[in-house]
């Protein structure tokens, strides 16, 4: 939820300005903390003592010469630098929200503030600066906060305060302000502030469009490796309905669009279409867009990518591939010894995965083949996996339990009312148990999407939505996270575009936008 905010109140030290604790060589860290937590330091902040007077008291407490302490304070002052990312963020926000008022509220003596003013912070963008040494009160004194509220004339509920001290944030919230604790990179860089004040949906949509045909998968731990696949592209197309965002390779080896930066000219908009193909090979899709990576040199077509492709392709593109009936028959006869449909169309890879089975079953129901008796064992296995929480640690091909819950939720919607849907209701209980469990961003998006698909009360997953929204990056996209893996190595794969598209769909769902 975007807050109606009229003013930002920012701390200096630890927020707008950063200092290097290691630069203080005259005092140990313990000694420095002792004086900072002393009554004399508080009196220095409030303007009741000068620096020299305070250092005399510090010297008496630590039993060292006051001049040594004065030198340590000078060392700390000289180490101050401007927090450039946060400064740029608040400049950007001021341009985007002209009526937004900016203030500084800091515990700092008059003498130290005078020196701080020599730094290159854009002081002129702040409407007022509230300094404890001038006001005579310091954070977390409530009277200091009440003074700021009175002077700004802004309702506390429309003020966001950013501070690096928990007790100050607690005090700010106690008077009705919104508090952001600057204890992580997202807050220190201003990213958390952007997510609090700006509508996430247009930012997400802008990210998707500005990175069209660049939504490559990444491998966890090897983010520089761009893994180009057909699978994520198809999911992305289905989620957004925008084919201009994606690229993929048809089973015929023709290309639909090309990744940004590639020189190859691809087949676009089905221009090489024709009558429906009667050769099964034109209907079996391969996971990889390019040569396989992190696996065997030869990688066969698989039922997962094939299912997602047929589920995602708009009807006008079905003439580009084999008759779906051929594909369904190939799946229904590609069974293991338990009678369960297998993942690969290859005899040397006997694999079965409940997530893949969900997608194959979706395909059968989408094209009116839900009554096919050959898929019953597969249905039974999926239900058994859900009831017994078989994928609590993921599976060979998927890294988290959320993936099965998402694909099972899609299947529940696809199969329509009836026996299978009733059995798939078990997914609701499984989702309920997962709510609030920390997971990576893509898995979190899958979990929330699944909740929306099966109609779980949005109040129950509101905190998960808030967590997801807080993860939006400065550029409007979400982190890649991970959801599937390379079976041979276990390497986990994610996709920023996919996470962002899911997040955008979640937001639209929350707002009742189709």
Q: What is the pLDDT of residues 272-288, one digit of tens each?
A: 455 667 899 999 999 99
pLDDT of residue 456: 97
Helices within 80-199 (DSSP H only): 84-96, 110-116, 132-135, 142-152, 166-174, 185-188, 191-197
Supply the DSSP string of 264-277, one letter for each residue: PPPP-TTTT--SPB
Q: Name the pLDDT band for 459 (thresholds 50, 70, 90).
A: very high
Tell me if the bond preceding 147 is cis, omega within 30° of 0: no
Question: Is 268's pLDDT higher than 70?
Answer: no
Closest to 340 (Cα-Cα) out of 369, 385, 379, 389: 379
44 vs 278, which has greater pLDDT?
Answer: 44
Spatial neighbors of 353 by CB under 8 A, at least 6 apart, are 304, 343, 395, 396, 397, 398
Closest to 320 (Cα-Cα) out of 253, 232, 240: 253
Average pLDDT over residues 315-327: 94
Average pLDDT over residues 105-134: 96
Q: Name the pLDDT band for 269 (thresholds 50, 70, 90).
A: very low
Query: In this predicted model, what pLDDT tens digit does every residue of 168-224 receive, in sequence order?
Result: 999 999 999 999 999 988 899 999 999 999 999 999 999 999 999 999 999 998 878
Question: Is 328's pLDDT higher than 70?
Answer: yes
pLDDT of residue 313: 95
**Euclidean distance between CA atoms 425 and 148, whole angstroms:** 53
Other Cβ atoms within 10 Å of 494 Cβ, number: 25
Report the DSSP pairing between strands 217-219 and 222-227. antiparallel
pLDDT of residue 260: 73
Q: Name the pLDDT band for 487 (thresholds 50, 70, 90).
A: confident
**Euclidean distance between CA atoms 487 and 350, whole angstroms:** 12
Question: Is 92's pLDDT higher than 80?
Answer: yes
Q: Name the pLDDT band for 161 (thresholds 50, 70, 90).
A: very high
End-to-end CA distance of the chain: 18
Q: Which whole-number Å values give the CA distances from 423 to 116, 369, 398, 426, in the listed order? A: 66, 18, 23, 6
Unique residue bearing structure tokens 């001049």: 67
Q: Name the pLDDT band for 271 (thresholds 50, 70, 90).
A: very low
- Its pTM stands at 0.88
487 vs 439, which has greater pLDDT?
Answer: 439
96 is written with which tokens?
A: 């985007």
pLDDT of residue 65: 95
Question: Is 263's pLDDT higher than 90?
Answer: no
Whether 433 contacts 458, CB under 8 Å: no
Supply the DSSP string of 41-63, one letter for each residue: HHHHHTTSS-HHHHHHHHHHHHT
pLDDT of residue 69: 93
Q: 184-221 b/e with 16+ CB inside 10 Å = b?
A: eebbbbbbbbbbbbbebbebbbebbeebbbebbbbbee
104 is written with which tokens?
A: 């500084």
> How does the average pLDDT of the chain come out, rounded?
93
Question: Domains plus CATH for the chain?
Answer: 7-197 (3.40.50.1000), 200-511 (1.50.10.20)
Average pLDDT over residues 236-251: 96
**Euclidean distance between CA atoms 177 and 157, whole angstroms:** 5
């Amino acid at each position: 939820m975007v807050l109606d905010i009229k003013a930002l109140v920012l701390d200096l030290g630890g927020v707008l300005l950063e200092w290097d604790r290691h630069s203080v060589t005259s005092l140990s860290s313990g000694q420095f903390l002792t004086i900072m937590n002393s009554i004399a330091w508080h009196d220095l902040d409030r303007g009741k003592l000068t620096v020299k007077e305070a250092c005399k008291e510090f010297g008496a407490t630590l039993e060292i010469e006051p001049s040594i302490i004065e030198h340590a304070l000078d060392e700390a002052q000289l180490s101050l630098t401007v927090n450039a990312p946060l400064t740029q963020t608040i400049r950007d926000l001021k341009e985007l929200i002209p009526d937004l008022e900016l203030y500084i509220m800091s515990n700092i003596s008059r003498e130290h503030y005078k020196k701080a003013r020599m730094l290159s912070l854009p002081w002129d963008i702040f409407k007022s600066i509230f300094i404890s040494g001038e006001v005579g009160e310091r954070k977390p004194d409530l009277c200091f906060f009440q003074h700021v509220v009175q002077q700004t004339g802004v309702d506390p509920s429309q003020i966001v305060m950013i501070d690096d001290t928990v007790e100050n944030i607690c005090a700010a919230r106690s008077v009705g302000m919104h508090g952001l604790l600057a204890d992580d990179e997202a807050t220190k860089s201003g990213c958390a502030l952007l997510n609090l004040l700006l509508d996430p949906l247009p930012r997400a949509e802008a990210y998707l469009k500005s990175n069209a045909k660049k939504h490559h998968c990444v491998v966890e731990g090897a983010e520089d490796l761009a893994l180009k696949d057909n699978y994520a592209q198809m999911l992305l197309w289905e989620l957004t309905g925008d084919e201009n965002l994606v690229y993929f390779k048809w089973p015929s080896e023709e290309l639909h669009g090309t990744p940004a930066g590639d020189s190859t000219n691809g087949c676009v908009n089905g221009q090489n279409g024709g009558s429906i193909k009667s050769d099964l090979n034109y209907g079996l899709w391969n996971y990889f867009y390019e040569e396989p990576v992190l696996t065997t040199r030869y990688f066969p077509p698989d039922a997962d990518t094939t299912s997602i492709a047929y589920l995602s392709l708009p009807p006008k593109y079905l003439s580009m591939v084999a008759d779906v009936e051929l594909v369904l028959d190939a799946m229904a006869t590609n069974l293991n010894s338990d009678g369960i449909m297998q993942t690969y169309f290859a005899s040397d890879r006997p694999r079965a995965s409940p997530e893949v089975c969900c997608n194959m079953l979706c395909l059968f129901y989408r094209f009116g083949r839900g009554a096919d008796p050959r898929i019953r064992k597969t249905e039974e296995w999926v239900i058994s996996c859900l009831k017994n929480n078989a994928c609590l640690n993921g599976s060979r091909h998927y890294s988290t339990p959320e993936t099965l819950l998402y694909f099972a939720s899609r299947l529940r919607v696809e199969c329509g009312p009836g026996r299978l849907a009733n059995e798939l209701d078990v997914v609701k209980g499984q989702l309920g148990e997962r709510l609030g469990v920390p997971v990576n961003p893509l898995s979190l998006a899958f979990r929330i999407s699944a909740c929306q698909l099966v109609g779980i009360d949005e109040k129950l997953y509101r905190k998960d939505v808030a967590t997801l929204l807080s993860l939006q990056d400065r550029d409007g996209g979400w982190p890649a996270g991970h959801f599937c893996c390379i079976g041979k190595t276990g390497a986990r794969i994610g996709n920023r575009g996919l996470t962002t598209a899911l997040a955008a769909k979640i937001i639209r769902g929350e707002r009742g936008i189709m």
